Amino acid sequence: MITVPDPASLLSTLRADGHDGLPNVDVRIGASVLDGAIADSVERFIGRDPLILSDGAPYRTPAGPVVERLAGRLGCRVVQLGAGTVRADEETVEQAVAEVGEHRLLISVGSGTLTDIAKVTAQRTGNRHVAVQTACSINGFIADRSVLVIAGAKRTVQSRWPDVLVADTDILASAPWQLNLAGVGDLSTVPNAVAEWRLAARLGHGPPYNAAVVDDILAANPVLPRLARAARDAEPGGIADLARLLAASGLSMGIVGSTAPASGTEHAVSHLMEMARSRQGRPAAAHGMQVTVATRLAVRVWQLVDATIRSGDAKVHIPDEATSRDAVTRAFAEFDPQTAEECWTAYSAKRDWLLANQSELETVVSDWDAFARSLRLSTPEQFDEISQASGLPTRAEDLGAGYDDDLLFWALRNSHLLRERISIADLADVLGVWSDETARSIVADAAKAME
């Protein structure tokens, strides 16, 4: 029987193994845990006036509307940043910081985006923070990382661990089932993200690989179809397991100081699609749904790289600065100039590092067989089997109106240009096999597999 890792147990095990700097997060997962968690937090952080930060969505449970009930019980003010949705950018964070102020017990009730804003706000104001999770949509509710839009580009920034994470299944089971299913999608991408983390770590770029923080999460991958059924059926026990697994994944990112344990090429593709949709004034599909579709592409890029290296003709060549600058300019030509400049700043730092460490790339290529065998990466067929059994989306059009293969191609083709993290697309690029034709063929192959 496969056991879903419990975040508290994970932290306890890591402490026993001598890991330092672990967070002291009080994780409350289960039925009707909200009231007790809030009461304990008010007592624990005595002298800090509570204040609720909300995105304005109507979160309701059998006991009544969550925000209104909490505000009435605590007699506190509600700062509402949106009317059901909110944009996580510097302007919104500044608004939150100004309205929340200092010496507070900040209680955020809302989406992953709202929680990201709250975590940054808590960091900048020095407030204590209780994060009330309203859906099992992402793994980031607990992590000390937040995604903000900076200069038009999606960026992961340091924020603050919540002091308390509340995942009350009364609230979670009342969320739209599609949002809870999106959390299953977010978890389905972890094996690819971990493989890319291992690649970067093998090169000496980014945080060292730490199997202890992800092994239990990887081992739980076969339970995803069961958790997907629980999401659809609003089954409290299964939703609690989903919340536990998401929290464990979120902890892994904070513990290593990077999103690498849970974010690879598939997340870069998702970020780019969201950026494009925002520029068009159109809403984006749920993050977990986008990354699932994108993972079907990422695992095929691994196949491309593997075949290229095993052919015996693989040679490492780092693109020159002029070629790289031109690629970024073309990729973001329809965005504001500041977005292209933001992406160039990140990508050029990565290109410079790759140039200085070309010998490490060549060593990985020469030792490829041993490295590839050490990975626990699904084949495209294996990934599709899990995602189909879970009822997750597989094609661009499954994500909603305006999503198509052209958008998917653009996001995949330029995914390595978005940020400084090394990805499998970077390896394809320095091996000289990353092109418009290649990216289009991968998108077409992924679509054909679903016919």
pLDDT, residue 263, reads 97
Specify if 180 maps to a domain. no
425 is a domain residue: yes
Provide mean pLDDT across the span 396-404: 96
The verdict on 160 and 272 lying in the same domain is no
Do residues 286 and 399 share a domain?
yes
Q: State residue 62's pLDDT score.
A: 85
In a domain, 315, yes or no: yes
437 alpha carbon, distance to own chain's centre: 28
183 occurs within a structural domain: no
Exposed / middle / buried, residue 406 (Cβ in 10 Å: 0-12, 13-18, 19+): exposed
> Are 267 and 394 part of one and the same domain?
yes
Instruction: State the total domains in the chain.
Output: 2
* 3-38 pLDDT, tens digit each: 898 898 888 888 888 888 889 999 999 999 999 999
Judge whether 418 and 265 are in contact, CB under 8 Å: no
* CB contact at 8 A, 412 and 286: no
Q: How confident is the model at residue 173 (pLDDT cuts 50, 70, 90)?
A: very high
Q: Are 89 and 148 in contact (CB under 8 A)?
A: yes
In a domain, 208, yes or no: no
- The answer to whether residue 325 sits within a structural domain is yes
Phi, psi angle pair for 51, to nearest 5°? -145, 135
Rounded CA-CA distance 261/371 in Å is 18
DSSP-assigned beta bridge partners for residue 153: 150
Residue 46 lies in a domain: yes
What CATH number is given to the structural domain containing 101? 3.40.50.1970
Average pLDDT of the chain to the nearest whole number? 95
Query: What is the torsion angle, in degrees rounded to the nearest 10, for the CA atoms of residue 131, residue 132, residue 133 and residue 138?
Result: -10
266 and 412 within one domain:
yes
Residue-level pLDDT at 18: 82
Domain boundary among 114, 148, 175: 175
Write the pLDDT tens digit of every residue in 200-236.
999 999 999 999 999 999 999 999 999 999 999 999 9
What pLDDT, on the 0 to 100 scale, is given for residue 1?
67
Percent of the chain with pLDDT over 90: 90
End-to-end CA distance of the chain: 34
User: In this structure, are 326 and 435 located in the same domain?
Assistant: yes
User: What is the structure's pLDDT at 376?
Assistant: 80
Contact 199, 364 (CB under 8 A): yes
Q: Minimum mean pLDDT among 79-83, 247-251, 400-404: which range?
A: 79-83
Q: What does the alpha-carbon distance between residue 123 and residue 263 come to, in Å, rounded to a whole number?
A: 23
Last residue of a domain, one of 175, 210, 226: 175
CATH of the domain at 273: 1.20.1090
Closest CA to 271 of 256, 254, 259, 257: 259
pTM of the model: 0.96
Residue 142's domain comprises: 7-175
* Separation CA 366–CA 141 (nearest Å): 40
Q: Tell me the mean pLDDT in the region 176-205.
A: 97
CB 329 within 8 A of CB 414: no
| Contact call for residues 286 and 182 (beta carbons, < 8 A) | yes
Is the residue at 197 inside a domain? Answer: no
Point out the domain boundary residue: 120, 147, 175: 175
Q: Indicate the range of 77-86, 105-114, 270-279, 341-350 predicted with least confidence.
A: 77-86
Q: Where are the alpha helices (DSSP H) in 76-111?
A: 90-100
